[in-house]
Chain A
Amino acid sequence: MHNLWELISKPDNIPIVGLLFLVIGYTWWAFHKALKNDRQGYLDEARLNEKIQVWPNLVRVEFLAALFVMVILLFWSFLIDAPLEAAANPTLTPNPSKAPWYFLGLQEMLVYFDPWIAGVVMPSIIIVGLMAIPYIDVNEKGNGYYTFKERKFAIITYCVGFLILWVALIILGTFWRGPGWYFFFPWQEWDTHRVVALTNVDFTELFGIHTRFADNSLNPLAVAIGTIIILGYYSLAGLFWLKRKNTEILKKLGFAKYNITAFLFLTMAALPIKMFLRIGFNVKYILVTPWFNI
């Protein structure tokens, strides 16, 4: 219990506790409004469409919001000091070394993927993928009001990405990861000497096909199978296209936008899949090559 309190009351962790409550609150609120709109057959937003003067109506709201934020910030700053630890010492590595909290999702990804994926490729795809959203979402409904039923796929995908793969991993990284990046319950004392015997295997080894021969050279069969799995995974997009290309939604998307959407979707889904394989079966790599591993 002692450790839980220490974690929660660490000055730099307070915003994360705040984030948790804000995210839950806003998600609830947004779905409340969306389902209400869906149910009642007219839009609340459309009923509030008369034009009003910005002065004083909007300026007043802005002023009150600004006041509110500044009061909270002042209290927060009076009560809690920003941390200042011992002077920087490049020879003394703290354990655990954690990135700033908003990058903990990426640091958590390092458990499941090599750094070139978790630290470079994935962040780049996230940024580019986010920018692509307006251009690949061809559903023109749901523009400017809360709704769920008119854009279920978009909303579910975004919520899984944001709430689970981003926010939940931040919380996990903050409260459940201890020395050596091992899993600890938040109320558990951190044992800095914990060592867990690593019995990680590669995916093909689950089926008795070794990645490397005794002389440490790569087994071509394992490389081939790994390649097929990765390519096969991404060609699921093609299969789905062949099966469903005549549906209205895919016709509207068109071939290019469909493929971009599918690629982004499968890449996002790869993270929970790899997490599952890692946690459930200790799988380290699906594909091992001399240059990179996936």
Chain B
Amino acid sequence: MLKIREKLQQSEVWKSIFRHNYQDTNRNRALQIVDNVFLHLHPVRIQRHATNVGFTWGMGGITFLLFIILTITGVILMFYYRPASEYAYEDMKYLMNDVAFGPLIRNMHRWAAHAMVITVMLHMFRVFLTGSYKPPRQFNWVVGVLLLVLTLLLSFTGYLLPWDQLAIWAVTVGTNMARATPLLGHEGPFGAALGMRIDNDVRFVLLGGTQVGPPTLLRFYVGHCIFLPLIASIFMIVHFWRIRKDGGISGPTSTTKE
């Protein structure tokens, strides 16, 4: 048995996959991080307080985890959903009643989305309270604000997709405000003077019509499934990269690093 194991571990195939053995040495602990594409987001060593949940509340990481869960469940949902007003609601009914594990996937997607909005707000709250936006992390805070906006937009565009009463009226209330945009909305200050009408103002562009209708569904769908996740992913990459470049998690003794 041991011999087989040894042989296996000496084989070319094994060695090409696993670059180091698993003896508990500092060198191996370091290699465990740098040799792994997913873990090498981390530094090899960090200050102890940065691993303290009492300090970070873990909220940034949990936000990211929820984003991953949302991506996976979202892709599964896409197999069952057609973004056309004749089908959308029927597809939801079918998913909730006849698809194996359909409700579970949809519920996970919905509740993770709500949870992500909450965790991102709490993450921001903790970053503020620990003063972690102060130099050299100013720009990463700005990236964070963009991520917050993207999170809200993702959630809002997703809200429309079930195409039920809750969906269209919540989105109607939300987008009605755009009528009143100064200069660009037909009911906003100076809008009419600039030639804005209900069928050419900024809300019309957003909805693809004068009210929430089939073109809105398609627009929100494409935004929700492709455009916004793509942009959010790009900003998350920047966010994580900057955390490393700014000297890791902030702390009283690690702030002077440029």
Interface residues, chain A, with chain B CB atoms under 8 Å away:
12, 15, 18-19, 22-23, 26, 29-30, 33-34, 43-46, 48-59, 61-62, 65-66, 69-70, 73-74, 76-78, 80-90, 92-94, 97-103, 106-107, 114-116, 118-121, 127, 130-131, 133-135, 137, 140-147, 151, 154-155, 158, 162, 291-292
Contacts and interface: CB of A to CB of B under 8 A. Distances in A.
A124 to B, nearest CB: 10
A53 B29 contact: yes
B48 A88 contact: no
Q: Interface size bucket, B side?
A: 35 or more
A84 B162 CA distance: 7
A134 B134 contact: yes
Contacts of A23: 122, 125
Nearest to B249: A144
Given A51-B46, A57-B51, A83 B166 contact: yes
B92 A84 contact: yes
A146 B129 contact: yes
A62 B63 CA distance: 12
Nearest to A19: B118
Contacts of B148: 130
B29 to A, nearest CB: 5
Nearest to B41: A54
B180 A134 contact: no
A26 B65 contact: no
A144 B70 CA distance: 31
Interface string B170-206: 1011101111111001011110010000000000000
Interface of B: 26, 29-30, 32-33, 39, 42-55, 57-58, 61-62, 65-66, 69, 85, 89, 92-93, 96, 103-104, 106-112, 114-115, 117-118, 121-122, 125-126, 128-135, 137-139, 141-142, 145, 148-149, 152, 155-156, 159, 162-170, 172-174, 176-182, 185, 187-190, 193, 211-213, 250-255
Which of A34, A101, A145, A292 has the most chain B CB atoms inside 10 A of its CB? A145
B193 to A, nearest CB: 8
Given A84-B96, A100-B155, A100-B159, A77 B107 contact: yes
A211 B179 CA distance: 25
A134 B152 contact: no
B29 A103 contact: no
Contacts of A83: 164, 166
A88 B165 CA distance: 4
A61 B51 contact: yes
Nearest to A57: B51
B130 A146 contact: yes
Contacts of A103: 152, 156, 174
Contact of B168 (A12, A88, A101, A145): A88
Nearest to A51: B45
A120 B182 contact: yes
Given A103-B156, A143-B135, A65 B180 contact: no
